[in-house]
Structure 1
Amino acid sequence: MKRGVILVPLVLTAVLAACGSGSGSGAAGGGGKSAGGNGGPPKGGWPQPVNGLLTPQMCGLLTNDDYARYGHERLPVISQKRVDNAPNAVDCLYITSDELDLSLQPTAEAAKVQYAASLKDHKERLSENNRPSILATNVVQGADESWFDYWTLGTADAKFKEYEISVRRGSLVVGIVLSGIKGEHEKDPRTVLTGLAGLVLQRIPNVGRADTGKTHKAEFAVAGAGRARQIVFNDPTSGKVTTLKNVKLPWHVEKPLINTGQAQIMLNLNAVSGTPMAAIGCNISVDGHTVVQEQPKIGGFANCSQPFTPPK
């Protein structure tokens, strides 16, 4: 989860007075009660992708009734929109940080990379801020992968602790944040979130099950003879820098390139030859098309660096 709004109780009281009870009737506009009642679908059925694209109407996949079933009151909506720069993602944000987001990648491989990067970022953020973790994995039936924990952006000593869940099924990734404002008879957070995530998967049963495109690939290559004393390159999706030592030449590696919402990414590769006078060169390509290249030359060093707009 990237965003959230946390309100202290006094502010919350004022907002509720201004907004009403938050039980609006529109599935997308207010996320209110479903037309069928008791968790039934609204008129026309649960919202589905349109021409393969997720829409803000899909915020209506979870209703206030669904939350109330677990004893939680979801407050009025703040925003329901497509995510800026992301190729196919929707974010649904409510007062006090209840949130639902959906992301659909062209392939299950791409979604798996996105899911893994998100979990890695979650662990690192909690560790950097010395926050506790109750991480549990494989918590949602019908999903390929899932994890549950405290909310990444929450505060360690907050009175109202938030929780989150992330779920991947094929090329679909679903994330839900549960605010720390609890109802009097609210069930435990893991039960609430696993139940809500299960409802989302049930209501869009075919989404994510079949690949709709391809996973883009970035290839990093170093040309030359003998060995490279060092090769350094950055992962195009996570940005992680990898350093290799004493590498036999020629060398190349292929990495998936996933559009996770950034407008541009920096592709970087540099290499140092084993001997100062050896000729060495480099090349970075995406889907077989060269992005930046340096022909082998004597001098013992090669550098390829180029900003790149991720394909959608």
Structure 2
Amino acid sequence: MKRGATLVSLVLTAALTACGSGSSGGHASDSGGGPPKGGWPQPVNGQLTPQMCGLLTDDDYAKYGHERLPVISQKRVDNAPNAIDCLYTTSDELTLGLQPTAEAAKVQYAAGLKDHKERLAEDHRPTVLATNVVQGADESWFDYWTLGTANSQFKEYEISVRRGSLVVGIVLSGLKGKKEKDPRTVLTGLAGLVLQRIPNVGRTDTGKTHKAEFAVAGAGRARQIAFNDPTSGEVTTLKNVKLPWHVEKPLIYTGQTQVMLNLSATSSSPLAAIGCNISVDGKTVVQQQPRVGGFANCMRPFTPPK
């Protein structure tokens, strides 16, 4: 992924503008910006393909006054279950990701928004965050680009959109055309076009959401229970919990080769027998039978199912 506009990009922009950018292969058909011959590219056997980068054309950007420069790469995302990345010169970018269920995509979308907020806050960067900005989507947000630079005069923006199990992301470079519309209008318009051109993608679940269950066995109360979220890795700590106890969490494959499943519990009495169990889709991954001592710990690396 491109990491912001630079002076080199500006020089390249001027040169490419002089030569014209029609060679990028991204223009719509000659029939006034309509779909290409054969129609807009759709998933093949449920899989997103690099050809779907063609869902947005140079002409689509031009209608909003933005010049999209030549393509850098159009490819499937490494270590991702079903995703493509379409990257163009000076940071214009389109990404598509398809989860097996809307529930899984909702977790992925929420994690992306949370990460965005945290990274901007850590860098003390401003925000113009707006949510629910795309008609026809279940969820959407618009803001400055998470990976942009804080004080650049060429401010980049991004949008993230979820419809069912489909998540769409678009980054808009900060190199504005003379008559370019405001970034929010550009990005919401482009995102709307993507949803219109693949009207059925994401609307129906094609698989299941994997579940990890964390359980603590025993009687009385636990002084503390701590477990890590199997998707985000964040630790949740609970106090004064009635036993026996269990909780179920979605386990979403996002490209990670392994996750560490971890659960610990401390009884309110050191003489109490307490145990723990972690299972995925009903199959035990790691278990400690109840035993006297007032403490139980279950921990094991696990390869998420795709």
TM-score tier (shorter) = over 0.9
Residue 146 of structure 2 aligns to which amino acid in structure 1? T
Runs (5+) with no aligned partner, structure 2: none
The secondary structure found in structure 1 opposite 2:60 is: helix
Given that 2:5 and 2:154 are in contact with CA atoms closer than 8 Å, whether structure 1 keeps it comes out as: no
> Which residue does the alignment assign to 2:221?
227
Q: Return the TM-score normalized by structure 2.
A: 0.96
The secondary structure found in structure 2 opposite 1:59 is: helix
- What do you get for the CA RMSD once the two structures are aligned? 1.5
Alignment of 1:122-271 (within 5 A): 122-271=116-265
> Which residue does the alignment assign to 2:11?
13
**Is 1:309–2:303 an aligned residue pair?**
yes
2: CA distance, partners of 1:299 / 1:210: 49
**Is 1:51–2:45 an aligned residue pair?**
yes
Residue 225 of structure 1 aligns to which amino acid in structure 2? A
Given that 2:3 and 2:147 are in contact with CA atoms closer than 8 Å, whether structure 1 keeps it comes out as: no
2: CA distance, partners of 1:284 / 1:10: 52
Residue 255 of structure 2 aligns to which amino acid in structure 1? G
Given that 1:6 and 1:95 are in contact with CA atoms closer than 8 Å, whether structure 2 keeps it comes out as: no
Deviation at 1:8, TM superposition (A): 2.1
1: CA distance, partners of 2:204 / 2:125: 38
Deviation at 1:286, TM superposition (A): 0.6
2: CA distance, partners of 1:133 / 1:18: 32
1: CA distance, partners of 2:16 / 2:193: 30
Over 3 Å counting, the alpha-carbon distance change for 1:146 and 1:231 in structure 2 is same
> Which residue does the alignment assign to 1:68?
62
> Which residue does the alignment assign to 2:21?
22
Deviation at 1:9, TM superposition (A): 3.5
Deviation at 1:5, TM superposition (A): 3.6
Q: Return the TM-score normalized by structure 1.
A: 0.94
1: CA distance, partners of 2:194 / 2:62: 16
The secondary structure found in structure 1 opposite 2:104 is: helix
Residue 210 of structure 1 aligns to which amino acid in structure 2? T
Given that 1:56 and 1:82 are in contact with CA atoms closer than 8 Å, whether structure 2 keeps it comes out as: yes
> Which residue does the alignment assign to 1:102?
96
2: CA distance, partners of 1:86 / 1:11: 29
Given that 2:230 and 2:251 are in contact with CA atoms closer than 8 Å, whether structure 1 keeps it comes out as: yes
Output one character per residue of 1:141-164: Cα deviation in whole Å (capped at 9) or x when no partner. 111111100011111211100000
> Which residue does the alignment assign to 2:2?
4
Deviation at 1:36, TM superposition (A): 3.9
2: CA distance, partners of 1:94 / 1:223: 54
The secondary structure found in structure 1 opposite 2:162 is: strand
1: CA distance, partners of 2:30 / 2:212: 48
The secondary structure found in structure 1 opposite 2:59 is: helix
Output one character per residue of 1:112-144: Cα deviation in whole Å (capped at 9) or x when no partner. 111111111111111111111111111111111
2: CA distance, partners of 1:292 / 1:97: 44
2: CA distance, partners of 1:167 / 1:18: 31
The secondary structure found in structure 1 opposite 2:291 is: strand
2: CA distance, partners of 1:168 / 1:205: 13
Deviation at 1:263, TM superposition (A): 1.6
2: CA distance, partners of 1:116 / 1:31: 34
> Which residue does the alignment assign to 1:27?
none
Given that 1:5 and 1:95 are in contact with CA atoms closer than 8 Å, whether structure 2 keeps it comes out as: no
2: CA distance, partners of 1:38 / 1:9: 35
**Is 1:285–2:274 an aligned residue pair?**
no
Over 3 Å counting, the alpha-carbon distance change for 1:102 and 1:216 in structure 2 is same
Deviation at 1:6, TM superposition (A): 2.5
Given that 2:71 and 2:87 are in contact with CA atoms closer than 8 Å, whether structure 1 keeps it comes out as: yes
2: CA distance, partners of 1:155 / 1:5: 8
